[in-house]
Structure formats: C-alpha cells, structure tokens
Amino acid sequence: MERPNISEAEWTVMEALWEHSPQTASAVAKSIRPSTGWAVNTVRTMLGRLVEKGVVVFSENRDGVREFSPAVKREDVVRFESETFLNRVFRGATQPLLVHFASHSKLTSEEIGQLKQLLDDALEKRDGHKS
C-alpha cells in the first residue's frame, strides 16, 4: 500500500469514519460539527479528496445516498505517519525520539510503568530471553 497523504483536516473526517462506518456525508458532518464547525459541503469536499487519494470508498445505499467507509485501517495510517515523523524530525533514530518524549512529556507513574514494560518486552524479544 502506498503512503496515504492525509491532511490534518482530513484526519478529523477519517477519525469519524474509523469510529463508525459506513456514514453519509451528512452524518459525518453532524458528528464532527461540534469540534470543527464545518458545514456538510466542506465535509463532502474532504470526502471527495479522500476518495481520490484511495483512503475512503463509497457505495450507494438503497435510497441512492452515498455512504463512506475507510479503505485503510487506522493502525496502518498511524504507522505510516509515525515513520514519516520519525524520519523527518529524528532522521529515523528511535532513541532520540524516546528520550525527547520521556523528557518533555508529563507522564504518569502508570504510563512510565507501561513504557518500561514495552521496552523490557522489546529487549526480551530482541535477545530471545527474559531479562
């Protein structure tokens, strides 16, 4: 699959579709209007762009109204976006990214414990034994 190029505004529409699909343009607009203030025509324009990009598909319901669904999984797009960010900002180096976020984020004790567990699991997987 080619890397999807989803703008920040389009990401909002995608989130609505990942949350619930299929949806009409009107339903998407209604669900995101409280946070965006966008009219249904704005949402229709974005849905059209997302269809052109191949990340959204549509079909017509029995009333002839278009219903939209994501053509890509959220997890796949998150992975692509993460890789792009890592390469652009940290030149592909994971360690500086982790240090940056650990140093500049307000992590709770529970979040720190989860991160430690993830790192311990990664080390175990890499070395093939329990640390």
Identify the pLDDT of residue 131. 47
The residue-averaged pLDDT of 30-39 equals 96
pTM for the model stands at 0.73
Burial (CB < 10 A; 0-12, 13-18, 19+), residue 53, is: middle
**2 vs 104, residue with greater confidence:** 104
The residue-averaged pLDDT of 58-85 equals 90
CA 94/CA 83 separation, integer angstroms: 10
Angle, helices 40-52/25-36, rounded to nearest 10 degrees: 110
The residue-averaged pLDDT of 21-47 equals 97
